[in-house]
Amino acid sequence: MNKKVYEAVISGKADNNIKYSDLQNLIIDLGFEFQRQNGSHEIYCNKTIKKSLNIQKDSGKAKAYQIRQLRAMINKYGL
């Protein structure tokens, strides 16, 4: 797991500045699996916590509200 990206997500200081590919890798490292794609939306599911996460690219970066959703899941489920 890329600790730098994880720390950026947890801190909330770089929500608008996280690369989409870094977010994808972090999500997979946290136990999510790619489920399907619907247009530009990629859906990842975590079987352990029975939750899904929907992400999409915005000019090569992750969308800030999706980073906040991931942070909430990390905090709630101890990922």
pLDDT of residue 32: 96
In whole angstroms, what is the distance from residue 2 CA to residue 5 CA? 6
Nearby residues of 63 by Cβ (< 8 Å), 6 or more positions away: 55, 56
Collapse the DSSP code of 4 into the 3-class scheme (helix H, G, I; strand E, B; otherwise coil) and give the result: helix
Q: Does the predicted model carry a pTM greater than 0.85?
A: yes
Residues 32/45, Cβ–Cβ less than 8 Å: yes
Neighbours of 51 (CB within 10 A): 15
Whether residue 1 is predicted with pLDDT greater than 90 in this model: the reply is no
Give 3-77's CATH code, choosing from 3.40.190, 3.40.50, 3.30.920, 3.30.70. Answer: 3.30.920
User: pLDDT tens for residues 36-65?
Assistant: 999 999 999 999 999 999 999 888 999 999
Domain boundaries, the chain: 3-77
